[in-house]
Structure 1
Amino acid sequence: MEKNALVFQTDFGMEDGAVSAMYGVAYGVSPDLKIYDLTHGIEPYNTWEASYRLIQTVSYWPEGTVFVSVVDPGVGSTRRSIVVRTKTGQYVVTPDNGTLTFVKRNLGIEAARIIDESTNRRSGSEESYTFHGRDVYAFTGAKLASGDITFEQVGEEMDPESVLELPTIPARETEDGGVEGTIDVLDVRFGSLWTNIPVELFKKLGISFGERVEIMISNDTRTLYRNTMVYGHSFADVYVGEPLLYMNSLNCMAVAINQGSFARAYNIGTGNSWHIAIRRDSRG
């Protein structure tokens, strides 16, 4: 039987043996599995970031790919351990703690099941409550990817609509003729700001490439940045060190500094309390 790819995401980092232990459990289920890493650099406990990295990645993998996402601040609690099948045919094994927010809203969940830990749990781990990433999620993900179990054998069926979502604030048009949204996540290595403003909403402003826009970024009531910048195709449309507005790989608007970190330069964070407003440059 052909195996499906198994892809791991965690907030564990690579400084100790946690990720390697998950690999070992998976290979113990099936030595010929192909295992890949999405990332292990999620900020500790940050289920919002975990959710964003999944939607950034999942749909580009073949149907049948199994993702295991372990960002689990509630490990050992009553939160559910689940597996979902997306509407594009991939599977995600994860705690039901908001990690699936963007997959559910943007990609869609076709079906969901609660992991039956009486059968889908590493033998000998029954009294361990702090490493479900190894004992439950990597183990179940490996069994599913290898074909050792079917999706139906994961456990009891649940309503996909009951999968937990984190609160979000929709992007919208503003009364002054602009658009506003939130800064959802950073393009971590380069410090670009990725917003939730879809390009189709931005296009309603009628701004062409090469024109300037006004950008205002605030954290609740405090404004941290207010200036104009070019709307460009890519970073090369401005000089090194200059800012620009562009469309990112998820078809949403983003702000960057060419060969610099916008987030570091202006101490910008992410989440629902970080707001960004865009409008045409009033100076013409």
Structure 2
Amino acid sequence: MTEALVLQSDFGVSDGAVSAMYGVAHSINPNIRIFDLTHDIPPFHIWEASYRLVQTVPYWTEQTVFVSVVDPGVGSNRKSVVARTHANQYVITPDNGTLTHLWQAGLLAEVRELDDKTHRLPRMGESYTFHGRDIFAFTGARLSSHDITFEEVGPLIPLDEIALLDRTPATRDEDAVEGIVEILDIRFGNVWTNIPVQLVRQAGVDIGHRVIITISFRERTVYEQTLSFGRSFADVPVGSGVVYINSLDQIAIALNQGSFAHAFDIGIGNDWKVRLQQI
């Protein structure tokens, strides 16, 4: 049986890069089942690649193989790795921080260094700039087709030795919680934080309450308003702001039928702090 092969990259689909990865996979197994997570990760944006994995991986079946290629260090001495989750899915990626969110969510069971001198497209040639095609898609197709086992990809490496991004956890201070802008819900412009709803409830805040939301960038306040904590966008008038629980059970902020991120020019990462305080 062929397992699902799920691809993610920052390549876009305006040229032949993604299609070449498909071609390599089909050359390994003409019956392979390939799916796209996304190829619209902003160029070189490892943080977003890491987040999209934790947003997606838990909802796929056992033995699914993910290939994630956001690789600004391609051709350097950075490692290539294959991670196994506790649910026995596999993630093939550069060891550059892409596994951060999966690791911090407690989803990774073990990681092996991919021996890319052995596991590489035979006709790779002399190029060192397209490991997504020549190493990652090649290995992903072989793993998903059971041509190789996880144990054969390379030696185990300690989990605490993989590269991790600097990611500030959410905290609670009596009647307030603080976190970061984790990601943007790109199409709709909603702002997703890393604040779990359980932490908010520990601070005495729940749906139906009014809360003060403060968003700052490098200690400079860029937004501060009192908003309703609603179940969904429709709990407030069109154009109004609302706090809600997103699909990963974390706190998010939106404008009903508008883009909160665009309206207030919000970015993502540790420099973007979000504070939610009970009134």
Query: TM-score with structure 1 length normalisation?
Result: 0.96
Residue-by-residue CA offset, 1:81-123 (whole Å, 9 max, x unaligned): 0101011111000000000001111042212111112321001
Q: Does 1:183 align with 2:169?
A: no
Give the distance between the partners of 1:113 and 1:47, measured in 2 at CA: 20
- Percent identical among aligned pairs is 54
2:168 pairs with 1:169: yes
The answer as to 2:250 corresponding to 1:241 is no
Q: Per the alignment, in what secondary structure is the counterpart of residue 169 of structure 2? A: coil
Q: Which digits, 9 at most, give the CA deviation of each residue in 1:177-219, with x for residues without a partner?
A: 3111100110111111111111111002222322211100000
State how far apart, in whole Å, the 1-side matches of 2:117 and 2:224 are. 56
Kept in 1, the 8 Å contact 2:200–2:206? The answer is no
Deviates more, 1:122-131 or 1:251-260: 122-131
Instruction: Decide which of 219, 223, 226 is 2:224's aligned counterpart.
Output: 226
Q: Which residue of 2 aligns with 1:256?
A: 254
Asked if the contact 2:25–2:137 (Cα under 8 Å) also holds between the matched residues in 1, the reply is yes
Do the aligned partners of 1:218 and 1:274 also contact (CA within 8 Å) in 2? yes
- Contact 1:63–1:89 under 8 Å retained in 2: yes
What is the one-letter code of the residue matched to 2:235?
D
Number of the residue aligned with 1:13: 12
In 2, distance between residues paired with 1:46 and 1:65? 24
Query: C-alpha deviations, 1:138-184, integer Å up to 9, x for none?
Result: 00000000011011111122122211111111111236x31111001
Q: Describe how 1:8-157 pairs up with structure 2 within 5 A.
A: 8-157=7-156
Amino acid at match of 1:235: F
Which stretch shows the higher mean deviation, 106-115 or 39-48? 106-115
Whether contact under 8 Å (1:55, 1:107) holds in the other structure is no
Gaps of 5+ in 2: none
Per-residue displacement from partner, 1:212-231 (whole Å, max 9, x unpaired)?
Answer: 11100000121110101110
Structure 1, 246-255 or 116-125: larger mean CA deviation: 116-125
| Alignment partner of 2:194 out of 185, 193, 196 | 196
Question: Equivalent residue for 1:217?
Answer: 215
The AA in structure 1 aligned to 2:25 is A
**2:194 maps to amino acid:** N
Distance 1:209 1:14 in 2: 41
Moved over 3 A (4+): none
Q: Is the 8 A contact 1:5 1:34 kept in 2?
A: yes
Would the aligned equivalents of 2:82 and 2:91 in 1 still touch at CA under 8 Å? yes
Cα shift readout 1:232-253 (whole Å, capped 9, x = no counterpart): 1111111111110011111110
Structure 2 equivalent of residue 266 of structure 1: 264
CA–CA separation in structure 2 for the residues paired with 1:143 and 1:56: 25
3-state SS, counterpart of residue 105 of structure 2: helix
How many Å separate the matches in 2 of 1:275 and 1:221? 8
Contact 1:181-1:275 at 8 Å conserved across structures: yes
In 1, distance between residues paired with 2:276 and 2:206? 14
> Helix, strand or coil for the counterpart of 1:45?
coil
RMSD: 1.0
Q: CA deviation at 1:34?
A: 0.3
Distance between the aligned counterparts of 2:206 and 2:76, measured in 1? 51
Rounded Cα–Cα distance in structure 1 between residues aligned with 2:227 and 2:87: 37
Give the AA of the match of 1:265: A
1: distance between equivalents of 2:128 and 2:178? 43
- Distance apart, 1:126 and its partner CA: 4.6
After TM superposition, the score normalised by the length of structure 2 is 0.98
